[in-house]
Amino acid sequence: MNQINPALERILVSEEEISQRVIELADQISEDFKDVKRLYIVGILKGAFIFMADLTRKLSIPHVVDFMALSSYGKSTESGAVRILMDLREPIENQHVLIVEDIVDTGQTLQYLNRILMGRNPASLHTCALVRKVGQSVNIPVDYLGFDIPDVWVVGYGLDYADKFRTLPYVAELKRDSF
Ligand code: 5GP
């Protein structure tokens, strides 16, 4: 398939690369958590829903899925203020928790989530992200990372621009004049 949507600049991570990497990440997570009773997996809406669905279906360990929705006040806010729009269904005290994010840009969202969820006393807290942009302003480690990508606006595989392009099977750079 050579034709891509004219609003897109180029494909950064192909469908094949994603599915291969999802299997590798799921294998790694399954190995690392093979001794826990169950892994409590927290997907961050909306962007992580496709990654979450593919990743969890490749796990070979007991797990439950839950979701959080956050609203960000935008890059311009120094504080990186983030608000919880929808919270988890269960307390996570003494649970082994894995956060699944679509993308780490500045790292503020992940840092905020880490702080909030650590405050609920989980047995452990780890992070997984499909893509991470280079040059983050917040130095937050990602335990399970799909791909490093350039600092451009990307869409597809759950990621949107104005709620469009989410269901593209790949991650692509949006053309500047499409904003
Ligand atoms: P951070 O807090 O790491 O700066 O930003 C994380 C959030 O910003 C992501 O969860 C996502 O909602 C949004 N975001 C940052 N960069 C992009 C991008 O290139 N494409 C899309 N679709 N969302 C992005």
Q: What is the pLDDT of residues 10-20, one digit of tens each?
A: 999 999 999 99
Atom of ligand 1 nearest to the CA of 112: 2
Who has greater pLDDT, 108 or 32? 32
| Residue 79: per-residue pLDDT | 53
pTM, 2 dp: 0.94
Mean of pLDDT values over 88-95: 97
Count of helix runs (H) and strand runs (E) in the chain: 3, 9
Q: Does 49 sit in the ligand 1 pocket, CB within 6 Å?
A: no
Q: Of all helices (H) and strands (E), which one includes residue 121?
A: none
Give the residue among 124, 123, 125, 121 at the shortest CA–CA distance from 111. Answer: 125
pLDDT at 1 over 70: no
pLDDT at 160 over 60: yes
Cα separation, 5 vs 104, in Å, equals 24
Q: Does 149 sit in the ligand 1 pocket, CB within 6 Å?
A: no
How would residue 136 be classed by pLDDT, with cut points 50, 70 and 90?
A: low
Give the residue among 153, 107, 154 at the shortest CA–CA distance from 129. Answer: 107
Cβ-count burial 98-107 (b if 16+ within 10 Å, e if not): bbbbbbbbbb
Structure tokens at 168: 């593209």
pLDDT at 77 over 50: no
Atom of ligand 1 nearest to the CA of 44: 10
